[in-house]
Structure formats: structure tokens, C-alpha cells
Amino acid sequence: MQFKRSLFIFSLIALALGAPKRGLNARHKVKEVVRAPRGWVQGPPAPADHIIKLRIALPQSNFQELERHVYEVSDPSHARYGQHLSKEEVEELVAPHPESVDAVDAWLSSFGLGESECERSPAKDWITLRVPVKLAEEMLDTKYHVWLHEASGDTAVRTLTYGIPEDVFDHVELVQPTTMFARMKSHKTTFRFSPIQPSDKLSPAEGTSGGAPLVGPGGTQVDASCNQEITLSCLQQIYNSVGVTGSNKDGNQIAVTAYLGQFANLADLKLFYEDQNPAAVNSSFKVVSVNGGQNSQNVSQAGVEANLDTQFAFGLTFPTPATFFTTAGMPPFISDLKTPTDTNEPYTTWLDFVLAQKTLPQTISTSYGDDEQTVPDSFALRACQGFAQLGARGVSLLFSSGDGGVGDNDANPATQICISNDGKNKTEFLPTFPATCPFVTGVGGTIGFPETAVDFSAGGFSNLFSRPSYQDAAVEGFLRQLPKGTFSGLFNPNGRGFPDVAAQGANFLIFFEGDSGLVDGTSCAAPTFAAFVSLLNDVRLEHGKPPLGFLNPFLYSTGFAGLNDITAGNNPGCGTEGFNATKGWDPVTGLGTPNFGILKELVLKV
């Protein structure tokens, strides 16, 4: 295909002046083609002068070697366990080959884009530049349109296909925003006001009004009121950590991430602490802005998700130093806006920032995601590689598994909407990204005590990522006991299974805009499990051991002995009853929920 030019006269002048030919040899090869996900409608051509913030990924020259390091330092049976890599060591492994850097620089230079227009990641594997739509279309031999998501009204500047010049093709892994239609939503259901006014919580021994105490792990008593609302005290009782607090003396840190304009309100946090953790009332957290992210303290702008994450993750781990990452991105597109819109994908925007930091929180929780099929393969793979870099550096990353069961949380065949995006329009289960990335720990949800799987807990098998070896035995055990032919054709039995673990995911008592209320979702489960991981890191650090880092090899080989196996419940969706929680790993609750009393002994033995 001949390279298109919109300004023929300009080309003649450039040739006459001996200027380099734009786009080098100007012959493009198609780099990526996608189908628009269901619900997106193509609108008018994007304004030619609208500014796009393009991000170009160069191939990471030695990622397979980095992957080897990740597994070795994360495997308790390996001699290198816990010997995490430094920032510089990781950057050296993922740095692109100099030939790729030179080729891409020459391509950009042919469009008049020099070093001053380019922002480079520390490893030089990402280049970010701001260009008008007109120039981006010329560079990528494509046409951008304004696309509308009918259900939400969100809009984005995207294209369904783009190309790269032949002589640069192998030196560019992907360019975004181009084919990325994922909307990224928080994993939660609607906030609802609590029917029970919060009050000073009584210990189980004092006999709260919820009825006779139940017996929890390790013989702890679990107040029956925990079946109506979940508090910090309930989680400590259910997960055998009564009396355990975090530490601010060993260098341990915990963080949660926020996107989509989710702000964590400090006044609400104070109310939460007054009600559930009085010792923490005068404490707060560090706010770290990524890409211009804000944390407005206007009470009307408080976010349910952000309040939930900070109140429970930081409430359980106080006084461990806490960080709230607020990342800007993905506002609605306004057609007459000439300045850049943050339509880049927030995961890689956040990754760019944190990977550039010398020191990082050892535990980070995220409660956002989207259907895996809405994320281009190239982007999902590259983001997952970024998560692997954090694992190599000793960071535990936890992602909520999602709230759609096996797809849409609808067991009615007449109303299910689980349709493939491959043009075949077949019914299939819809896995959730990033929980399907094999380098993160996916967290599903439970409800009540004794615990059962909560019906919205997303889980299943990736259609993109193959099953990692660390979960072969556990997943194959589940598949062997699954009746032959069950859900045939609806899921990929060879894919990475998720979630890995679970925690309580319903009836969490939070404070929002000055009022108390209850929240459901695996967004409750992720910060909860992350908090217990952070407390385990305290145990290790106090004994001179490194942090746990990438958790999954430990969980599947040793740590499962410190998890409560959940064997009741299911996750309906896509016109089916979904998978059942069973003995051992299952794609509803993973390996189970934490028993801190046992886990703290296990983490000292590895």
C-alpha cells in the first residue's frame, strides 16, 4: 500500500529541498486490526488538529530473561528466593536493542519529531509524544474517528487498524491510543445506605446484638453481626488476626491505586477511623499524583471506590505508611478541544510512573479492570510485562477479579450478553483483565460466615494468557473433577485460571460523603487481601527477610496451606450457573481466603 499524503504540494517542496522522505520508505505493513467491541459506534472523523498523546512501545530485548528472574526470586524452592532485582537491573533487562532505538528515532525524525518532542521511559522502551490527529494518521497510515459508547455516553478517538513502515515494523511493538476500546471500570456495586447506624463496636466476648458468636479460624470468635455488615473487626476475626497491627518501623509500605476521577476523602476517613479504628483517627496517607491525577477534598467529589480502598486497606494495616496513587486519564473527548486529552490507557501511564521510582510500596492493590476481549492483545501483553517488572522488584500486585461471575452475572439464557468479539458472535465466558495476567494475584469474593463464594465473583480462564506452570497442578485438579462436557466451548481450559485467592466481598461498612453505607464487590476483597499481605511483609521484614514480592509461586506451592478453602457457592453468568466453588482451587474463590495465624508461620519458613 502506498503511503498516503494529504498535502501533495508540501511533498513536492520537501523533495525539491532534499528533505528526507516522510516515513522513510513510506511503505506500511498493517500492525494491528481489531473489531469494535459491542456497544461502541463509529462517529465522525476526528478533528485534524485534535492533539493525541501517542505512546510507542519498542520491543523489550530480553524480557524472557526477566521472566526467568521473576520466577526464580518468587519461588520458595529456589535458591534465589527473595533476591529481588533493583530498578537498574530490571531496566537493563527490558531495554530495547540500540538498533530499535535508532530505527524508531529515524522514523520520527522524518516527520520532524526530534528529541525535544519525545518523552522516554527510564528503560527507553516507551516513547511518548503529542501530535495532531492529521500527523498521527500520516505516520500510521490510518484514519481516526470519534467513537461513542452508547450505554455510558463516553467517547474516544480511536481507529480499528494502523500500520508501521516496513523498515521500522519490527522495531515497534505497539502504538496507542489506536485500537484500545477498554473503558476500565471499578469493580464495585452501588453504594447503599446502612440500615444499621454505626456505633462503637463491641468485642465478641461482650456479646454484640448480632447473636451468639461463631467459631472462626484458629478458634477465634466471629461475631454474628458480621453476617450483616463487614467492619475491620469482622475481618480480623474471620481471618485470625485479632490484635495484629501494622508497623511503621521496618520500612514496609502499602498502596492503593485510583483512576477515573476517584478521590479519597479525608473527612470520611476520619469518620471511618472514629467508628472502627480510633487509634488511627489523626493519621492519613500520602497522595501521589500520576499524570496530573488529583484528590479533591470537595465532599461531593468523594469516590465510593477510593473511600472503600483507603479505609479498609489502610485501616487494617495502620500505622504502616500508606500511599494513594491517583492517576488521571480517559475523560470524555470534546471535539473542539485542541489540547491533549488523557485518552491513554491508565495502566501503562501508572506503570511508567512507578517503574521510574527508586523505591516502591511492597504491596499495591487495584480494584479496576475490564473484559479481556476489549483489550488489544498487544496492549494486554505489554501491560502484563510491566506488572512482571514490579514483581521482579519485590512488589506484590493484587487485582480484584471483577463482578460479572463468568461474564455478565446473569444465569438467564434469554438475557445473557456474553458475546465474543471475534466476528463469530458466539456465546462465551468473558474473563477479566488485568486479573488474567499471570504476574498479578487475582482476588475473588466471598460472603458471610462461614464463608461461601459470593455469586458475582468473577473467575474463569484467560483467552489470551496461557496457564503458568505454577498453577498447573491446582487448575488441572479442578478440571479433572469438572464433569466432561461442562461448559464445552464456553471457556479456554488451557488459559491462565483466575482468581488466585479470595476475601470477603459484600456488606462492607464505609463512610461516603459524611454518611455510613454498605458496599459490595470484589473491590472490597482486593484491598482486604492486600492488607493481610502487607501485615505478612511486616512479619518478614521484622525478621530480616525480604518482602514476599510476586505472590503466586508461593501461594500455589506453600501458601495454600494457610488459606481457608471455600467449597460452597458459584458464579453465574452468560446464561449458566457458572463454576462451583470446590475443594482446592476453583475459578470462583481461587485457593481460598487468608488465615493470618497460619500464614505468618509459613512466610517465616521460606
Q: Decide if 360 contacts 354 (C-beta within 8 A).
A: yes
DSSP string, 44-111: EEPPTT-EEEEEEEPP-TTHHHHHHHHHHHH-TTSTTTT-PPPHHHHHHHHPPPHHHHHHHHHHHHTT
pLDDT value for 319 = 98
The pLDDT of residue 84 is above 90? yes
Nearest Cα neighbor of 422 from 434, 410, 414, 430 is 430
Q: Which phi-psi region, left, alpha or beta, contains residue 540 (left: φ > 0; alpha: ψ -120 to 50)?
A: alpha
- Write down the residue that cell numbers 463516553 correspond to: 154
Q: How far apart are CA 103 and CA 469, in angstroms?
A: 36
Q: How far apart are CA 600 and CA 603, in angstroms?
A: 5
Q: How far apart are CA 453 and CA 596, in angstroms?
A: 19
Which residues are catalytic, by number? Answer: 305, 309, 523
Q: How far apart are CA 220 and CA 241, in angstroms?
A: 9
Locate all alpha helices (DSSP H) within 222-303, ordered by sequence.
232-238, 266-276
Q: Decide if 80 contacts 73 (C-beta within 8 A).
A: yes
Query: Mean pLDDT in the chain?
Result: 90
- Write down the residue that cell numbers 496492549 correspond to: 379
Q: How far apart are CA 450 and CA 543, in angstroms?
A: 33
pLDDT value for 347 = 84
Q: Which residues are annotated as a binding site for Ca(2+)?
A: 565-566, 584, 586
For the segment 117-135, the average pLDDT, to the nearest whole number, is: 95
pLDDT value for 198 = 53
Q: How far apart are CA 391 and CA 535, in angstroms?
A: 18
Q: Which residues are annotated as a binding site?
A: 565-566, 584, 586
The pLDDT of residue 123 is above 80? yes
Q: Decide if 185 contacts 370 (C-beta within 8 A).
A: yes
- List CB contacts of 75: < 8 A, sequence separation 6 or more: 81, 470, 553, 554, 557
Q: Which amino acid is at 447?
A: I
Listed range (179-193, 242-256, 372-386, 430-444) with the worst mean pLDDT? 179-193
**How many Cα atoms are found within 13 Å in the side-chain-facing hemisphere of 354?**
31
**What pLDDT, in 10s, does the model give residues 347-373?**
888 999 999 999 999 999 999 999 999
Domains and CATH numbers, the chain: 8-61+96-181 (no CATH), 192-602 (3.40.50.200)
Model pTM score: 0.92
Q: How far apart are CA 471 and CA 461, in angstroms?
A: 12
Listed range (10-19, 243-252, 487-496, 518-527) with the worst mean pLDDT? 10-19
**What pLDDT, in 10s, does the model give residues 592-601?**
999 999 999 9
The pLDDT of residue 208 is above 60? no
